[in-house]
Structure 1
């Protein structure tokens, strides 16, 4: 019956439309052609040009970044290989061989030197009064003094003759470099004065930070700058566990002058804990080796290559681009451009991005990111897996970047190279192109539309009838109909308006759908059984539940913290804590009941019965303690948490009518509230019932007692 009726209505409407569309005027056809051809052609041409041009500019930006990354990779590879080759050549030099044999013999001779108590006191005073305070001031850590003093008589003698005199030169490094004769008349001083100039020229010409000469037993028999590493032993001394010492042992073990060792950046205490690379080459010839030369590669040498001597912009990296190195430990091996240009802002960005404030402040203090700045991005992970490519995403301090990554093929170094530039800058040409295309297309569309409007003025008279009809609809008269008189598009418009007025009658259906959605929302606030009674108008709604575990948690120390905060900061801290509590509830399968400014009420087994609801509640309470500890570590606060856990019968229901709230009460809630404060100290406290059901899974200590329903209840604290 309904199908037949619908067909009749449809046929009648179609007949009316065909009778009234007797034909189109020439003006109508011209208007249609103008709009269709102009608008369609503009949109198609603009869309094709936009897609092709945007993709070309996008690819060009990425290709440029890949090219810069490849260039920097080649440059740093060349720099490291040059350092290796130079070390190998210098160690084979006749001057190096002569210096090695001469100073090895002189060092052995000094082993017979007797170090007096006065000299020992002088050496200890140098470390306790000069070196160690300077080292502690630089690193912020504490060091002993005796550990740095060489074990051998020769080592202590050399430090007395050279190292302890460094202060006399007032950091004049040129003087330190050439102070090879200590004036003691020893064969060591004579040999150092005669051949030590070879080291001086290496330092000045090759740009090394320092150069050490070692014998086959691991003794540092000569140092260009005569630092605290002079006279120490890499096998038994204070630096025996360093990567430098291990690389030295591996290199010497080859017993080949062709061997070559290189270390990754490591913190070298004699250089005030500054990150340092070492290139080690045995000294000798094809007949055998007599020791090794170790060249200290400057951190600046690597930074100059990676930054192009800080010429980022002139080398195609714009205002935000940079290229940096990352080691296998996810720490930087070169300095960040952002730190170089704006240290204060960089430190703030690090802390905002989740980096520990102590690390961020240390980076800003020494203005260096090597071995300090973690870079745990997808680009680094991909490059460490041996893959090269590009990615658009988050960079190492939280911004959006275009990144080109690749592993760095250098023997002895497990580094990856990352080139990045802010997404906004990299794709700025794309954005400019997009804006120009859209503006041009908008101009064309606007021009065509204005022309069409001018031409359409002659057809506006029938619109007046429609305006009057619209006003009546706005007043609520949904039965209005526009009289039909024209046989052109305006006639169709009148039909469309009439159809629209008819369609408004179905709004009640939409209202009904909205009512259903409201019911769904209501069910998210309370159980369905409670919601049904609430809609029926019940004033008092409550339900009893058996075997439900309750957790009542209360923050301690937050009021003291809030007294030093403004309103926005206080709300921010509370939101962070509550998000952590909600996540813990979701993970442990616990149901949140309500939250207060300093409290959190949750249950397990209320809406969804659970066999292990007691265990889940205890585990949830422990998770809240973990949330508090993480919050304190991140924000430098010292708030605590007292949580009480009980299980038993509870009642849930709605509280209030004007301000609707779903709440939970009963003996279990009351006891959970009381046991939390049995000692006043932070922690997780449980009732005797909870203890009996979970003591095999957790460690408890007796915390005290509370009165419950006329009996004394023992309270236990989770250890």
Structure 2
């Protein structure tokens, strides 16, 4: 046979050598292991699903039954509370004491219409509205000018001077029986006030008012700023009290009560107010009206089970609350009362504006503030009762029972909720136990089959674990791959590689730490992030920032005899103490040169009191200089200029980057510091207007800013006192 014949097959086709193929398949151990695992895990999963569904259904039904019971209980209590309130106010209004008091206060109030306030009294009254009423209205979020709430009548202003202004609190005003001014109104007050005071305290009314036929509030138990005002044509004509009064006075039936929902009522300052008003009649004629401010605390106690939610059937996470027709809460939130910070975070995450969330937390109430736009509340406001599983107003998945509340025409509904995590906790425990038992069974089945294989592959697994640890960032990994020569060689090479990577990682860490330190010393954290992200132009405008530019007067004279190194050490020590004080007060150090120290407040972290913080920081700088000068025998003083307004910050330069602050406020602060001949702390009028009255200021003249003259003020070193006129 020729070589060519040997290279060909019987059919003439050339013969091609075949490669030895490796058959890929499972070992017997692996096959048995998989079969046992599949059978055991499948049976466990099926049993678990059946048990889970049955347990979930049972727990859901039980939880809904409990919530329905709580909902119905609170609904009955609220309806009973308002029914009792209406009956009580009708009984009081028909009593002889209330009738006589209405006549007496109406007549005595009319006698005071001719009494004019002295200039001192008028100033005292207006100052009370500026100092007390205005700030409280601002805290409540009401956009009301306090001066517009002054009573329109001379009698009302006179009574507020005698009774409202002198009291430091509502409770103190309630305790006064007679202002001893000799007026007929005070005589009537001494005779009848105890009756209304007892009514307010025993029945927990927020206030008790008497109104005459013209709508004038001729008596108030707590002597708020509504005393002497008018709900028909006065500053309170658009309030819910005015609506309730109008409804009550148009009825011709005794015993009718006009109810209003909770709403904004400026005289209540930072609280919502609701009213129950009924006419007062004598000899068949209506002579006025009795109005009581609804007892919001009693409503809250009913809905919160007096703060004991667990005993009230609501567990760890449940709560029940009222919702008004405007989809706002009418009772407090449990989460707010128990954990305000968690509440604020939750409502902000649902989309609530931060100012509203802050107002709710600050005032510790959700009444009239917290919106409820959940499926449960929507169904209830549509007049339906039922149960549902849906997210609540905090975004948590809950079981809810809801329904309307029959309280006059208020249109309230009640919602009782319980987190599904608590309701289904037993099912979760069951599932967890099932998973654990399945895992244990799988482990037992697997161990015997895997034991021998683990012995053979242990060295490779050790190398794999070492590689994973290195991949995860761990350094200095050393492995022992067994006793065979081949595996020892691999392990030695692996360990050499690990040591080399460790050395390189340590060098990189040192360089990274040094770079991080330098960046943090040069610029704020937000700018660092943008710089790292590769932003080429980093600049930001700030519209309400307070800027300080300060110079250490006397440092050059003291350090002139020192060499450069010693001089720099002294300056660095001073700057270090300044920076520590700045960090404590929330002030941001921008840059330091031998000619000045530039700092700001409210730039990267907005602060409503940034002006006060900067002034406190400047005062602390003075104290640091005094201590430093006393230590080194130097006469050191501070000359600092402070302005408030617009400024810009950013990175300047390309090859050599510098973080800087510039703008109108910086320029003016520098001009004040550089041009004023005296040492001290000098602020512009924009800064002085933002400082509290306890900061003592004196006129320090003017500086020229462009074509304008800017008046500046010197801050007293003590930081408190009376301002110069």
Question: If the length of structure 1 is used for normalisation, what is the TM-score?
Answer: 0.54
Q: Quick one: distance in 1 between partners of 2:42 and 2:329?
A: 54
Q: State how 1:306-385 maps to structure 2 within 5 Å.
A: 306-385=303-382
Distance 2:293 2:249 in 1: 18
Structure 2: which 5+ residue stretches go unaligned?
A: 1-36, 450-522, 535-604, 607-725
1:243 aligns with 2:252: no
Q: Is the Cα contact below 8 Å between 1:256 and 1:288 reproduced in 2?
A: no
What runs of 5+ residues in structure 1 fail to find an aligned partner?
1-34, 455-559, 572-634, 637-719
Deviation at 1:443, TM superposition (A): 8.6
SS class of match (1:308): helix
Secondary structure in 2 matching 1:402 = strand
2:206 to 200, 204, 209: 209
1:559-574 equivalences under 5 Å are 563-564=526-527, 566=529
Distance 1:383-1:113 versus aligned 2 partners, 3 A rule: same
Residues 174-193 of structure 1: pairs in structure 2 closer than 5 A: 175-193=172-190
| Partner residue in 2 for 1:266 | 263
Distance 1:407 1:570, change over 3 A: farther
- The answer for the alignment partner of 2:88 in structure 1 is 86
Q: What do the CA deviations read for 1:123-180 (whole angstroms, capped 9, x no partner)?
A: 32332344324433x23566434312212222222222222222xxx3372x422423
- Write out aligned runs for 1:397-416 (5 A): 397-416=394-413
- Whole-angstrom CA distance in 2 between matches of 1:339 and 1:50: 34
On the 8 A contact 1:562/1:570 being kept in 2, the answer is: no
Distance 1:110 1:44 in 2: 86
* Equivalence for 1:64: 66
Q: Structure 2 vs 1, CA of residues 129 and 354 (structure 1 numbering), >3 Å: closer, same or farther?
A: closer
What's 2:150 paired with?
149
Residue 297 (structure 1) aligns with: 294
Structure 2 residue matching 1:316: 3-state secondary structure = helix
Native 8 Å contact 1:307 1:322 kept in 2: yes
1:95 paired to 2:97 = yes
When residues 41 and 84 of structure 1 are mapped into structure 2, their CA distance, relative to the original with a 3 A threshold, is same
User: How far off is 1:235 after superposition?
Assistant: 0.5
In structure 1, what is the Cα distance between the partners aligned to 2:90 and 2:257? 7
Secondary structure, counterpart of 2:404 in structure 1: strand
| CA distance 1:144–1:39, shift in 2 (3 Å) | closer
CA distance in 1 between counterparts of 2:48 and 2:363 reads 53
Rounded to whole Å, the distance in 2 between the matches of 1:249 and 1:63 is 43
Q: Could you say what secondary structure the match of 1:67 adopts?
A: helix
SS in 1 for 2:359: helix
How far apart are 1:430 and its partner, in Å? 2.8
Corresponding residue of 2:229 = 232
| Contact 1:243-1:266 within 8 A present in 2 as well | yes
2:106 corresponds to which of 87, 104, 107:
104
Q: Distance in 1 between matches of 2:304 and 2:55?
A: 31
Deviation per residue, 1:630-659 (Å, 9 max, x gap):
xxxxx99xxxxxxxxxxxxxxxxxxxxxxx
Checking the alignment, whether the CA contact within 8 Å between 1:97 and 1:283 is kept in structure 2 is yes
Q: What is residue 165 of structure 2 aligned with on the other side?
A: 164
Against the structure 1 CA distance between its residues 185 and 426, is the aligned structure 2 distance closer, same or farther, given a 3 Å change threshold?
Answer: same
Q: Which residue of 2 aligns with 1:388?
A: 385
For residues 359-400 of structure 1, what are the alpha-carbon distances to aligned partners after superposition, in whole Å with 9 as ceiling and x for unaligned? 112222222212221121111111111111122122212221
- What CA distance in whole angstroms lies between the structure 2 residues aligned with 1:79 and 1:183? 38
**1:286: Cα distance to partner?**
7.2
CA separation in 2, counterparts of 1:348 and 1:392? 23
Q: Tell me: CA distance 1:425–1:565, structure 2 relative to 1, closer, same or farther (3 Å).
A: farther
Q: CA deviation at 1:401?
A: 1.4
Instruction: Answer yes or no: is the 8 Å Cα contact 2:180–2:186 preserved in 1.
Output: yes
Secondary structure at 1:258 match in 2: coil
3-state DSSP of counterpart to 1:370: coil
Asked whether 1:221 is paired with 2:218, we answer yes
- Aligned counterparts of 2:411 and 2:387: Cα–Cα separation in 1: 20
> Contact (CA 8 Å) 2:376, 2:415: kept in 1 or not?
yes
TM-fit CA distance, 1:111? 2.3
**2:288 aligned with 1:281, yes or no?**
no
Rate the CA distance shift 1:117–1:49 in 2: closer, same or farther, 3 A: closer
Mapped contact 1:394–1:400 kept (Cα < 8 A): yes
User: TM-score when scaled to structure 2?
Assistant: 0.54
How far did residue 260 of structure 1 move? 0.2
Report if aligned partners of 1:340, 1:367 keep a CA contact under 8 Å in 2: yes
The two structures, once aligned, show a CA RMSD in angstroms of 3.5
For 2:532 and 2:382, how far apart are their aligned partners in 1?
A: 42
Q: In the aligned structure 2, how far is the partner of 1:564 from the partner of 1:360?
A: 29
Structure 1's 42 and 125: CA in aligned 2 closer, same or farther, altered over 3 A?
Answer: closer
Q: Is the 8 A contact 1:257 1:286 kept in 2?
A: no
Q: Secondary structure at the match of 2:280?
A: strand
Distance change >3 Å, CA 306–CA 187, structure 1 → 2: same
Deviation at 1:403, TM superposition (A): 1.6
Contact 2:263 2:273 in 1 (8 A): yes
Separation of aligned partners in 2, 1:570 and 1:306 = 52
Aligned residues of 2:170 and 2:222 also touching (Cα < 8 A)? no
Aligned residues of 2:208 and 2:293 also touching (Cα < 8 A): yes
Summarize the Cα distance change of 1:565–1:422 in structure 2 as closer, same or farther, 3 Å threshold.
farther
CA drift at 1:442 = 8.7
Deviation at 1:250, TM superposition (A): 0.8
CA distance in 1, matches of 2:532, 2:336: 28
Residue 571 of structure 2 corresponds to which residue in structure 1? none
In 2, Cα distance between equivalents of 1:39 and 1:226: 74
CA distance in 1, matches of 2:332, 2:439: 46
Q: Distance in 2 between matches of 1:323 and 1:314?
A: 13
Name the SS for the 2:372 alignment partner.
coil
In structure 2, the CA distance between the partners of 1:444 and 1:389, relative to structure 1 (3 Å rule), is farther
SS in 2 for 1:162: helix
Q: CA deviation at 1:58?
A: 2.1
| Greater mean deviation of Cα atoms: 119-128 or 325-334 | 119-128
Give the 5 Å matches for 1:497-576.
563-564=526-527, 566=529
2:170–2:223 contact (8 Å) kept in structure 1: no
Q: Judging changes above 3 Å, is the alpha-carbon distance between structure 1 residues 347 and 41 closer, same or farther for their aligned structure 2 residues?
A: closer
| 2:244 and 2:276 in contact (8 A); partners too | no
Instruction: Report what 1:254 is aligned to.
Output: 251
**Match of residue 130 from structure 2:** 128
1:429, 1:94 → 2: CA distance? 61
SS of equivalent to 2:229: coil
SS where residue 404 of structure 1 aligns? strand
- Alpha-carbon distance, 1:402 to partner: 1.4
CA contact (8 A) 2:48 2:431 kept: no
Specify whether residues 294 and 46 from structure 1 end up closer, same or farther in structure 2 by C-alpha distance, changes over 3 A only: same
- Number of aligned residue pairs: give it: 427
**Contact kept? 1:257, 1:289, Cα under 8 Å:** no
TM-fit CA distance, 1:218:
0.4
C-alpha contact 1:46 1:441 (8 A) present in aligned 2: no
SS of aligned partner of 1:222: strand
In 2, Cα distance between equivalents of 1:565 and 1:417:
51
Question: 1:331·1:370 contact (CA, 8 Å) conserved in 2?
Answer: yes
Check 1:77–1:569 CA distance in 2 against 1; reply closer, same or farther (3 A cut).
farther
Distance across 2 between alignment mates of 1:153 and 1:290: 22
Q: Deviations over 1:243-291 (max 9, x none)?
A: 1111111111113321101111112211213111211122236723221
